[in-house]
Amino acid sequence: MSASPTSASKHYVLALLYEEPAGRIFTRNAGAISFEATLYWHPDDGVPSGPILDDPIPGVRFFSLVETEDVTLATRRISCEIRALYAEQLTAGLDAALRSVTTHAACTEAVLESRTVRLADPLVAPAALVQELARQLWDAGLSVSFGPSWAPTAGATISVGAMSLEDALESFLRASHALWMPCRSR
C-alpha cells in the first residue's frame, strides 16, 4: 500500500527554481548530460575550420555551449550540457552530438577524446504531488501555474519556480515541513 501525498511519515524533495516564475509547478523537468570533446591535430597541419557540433536535434537543447581553440597545440575543445524533457530525446541528443564530433574528427584526421556524464534524468512529477502542492500554494495565497522546465532537478521529487518570491515560498515550506523538504536546484 503506498502512502498518500499528505502522509506525515513521508517527505518529498521539493526543488526551488529561483530562475523560474514563482508559483509555477513543473510537471516535467529536463534531464541533463555534460558533454565534452577535444580534437587534436598534428601541429604542422593546424586547426581546420568549420563547426564541430551540429545544431541539436528537435526536442534537445544545448546549454552553456563553449568552444575553445589552441592553435599552438592544434586543438579544439567543445563543451556543453545537453538537455531534453524525455529520456529518449536525451539519449538521441547525446548520440547525435557524438556522431557529429566523430564525423568531424574522421574527416579532418583528428584524434578525438570525449567525456560524458549524466547529471540528471528527466523528471515527471507525480500527479498526486502536483495536485497537493498546487492546493497548498493556493491555500497560502500564492499564484499557481503549471508547465515544463528545462532546468534539471537531480534528486528532487517535484519542483516549483521561486523567482521574486523566495521569502514567501520559504515561509510556506517551513509551515508545511511535514510534507516538503526543500532543495535548491543549481
pLDDT for 22-57, tens place per residue? 899 999 999 999 999 999 999 998 899 888 999 999
Residue found by looking up cell 591535430 in the block: 41
**pTM for the complete prediction?**
0.85
DSSP letter (8 states) at residue 2:
P
The matching CATH number, chosen from 3.30.70.360, 3.40.50.300, 3.40.50.720, 1.10.150.170, for 31-120 is: 3.30.70.360
Per the CB < 8 A criterion, the answer to whether 15 and 152 are in contact is no
Share of the chain above pLDDT 70, in %: 89
* CA distance linking residue 29 with residue 84, whole number of Å: 8
| pLDDT at residue number 152 | 96
Counting DSSP H helices and E strands in the chain, the numbers are 3, 10
| pLDDT at residue number 60 | 98
Average pLDDT over residues 99-125: 96
| pLDDT at residue number 166 | 77
Q: Is the confidence at residue 177, as pLDDT, over 80? A: no
DSSP helix, strand, coil percent of the chain (3-state; round to 5)? 25, 40, 35
Indicate the Cα dihedral angle 161, 165, 170, 176, nearest 10°. -70
Q: Is the confidence at residue 160, as pLDDT, over 60? A: yes
Listed by start position, the domains of the chain span: 12-29+125-179, 31-120
For 165, other C-beta atoms within 10 Å of its C-beta total 19
Q: Is 177 left (phi over 0), alpha (psi -120 to 50) or beta?
A: alpha
For residues 1 and 85, which has the higher predicted lDDT (pLDDT)? 85
Tell me the three cell numbers of residue 25. 509547478
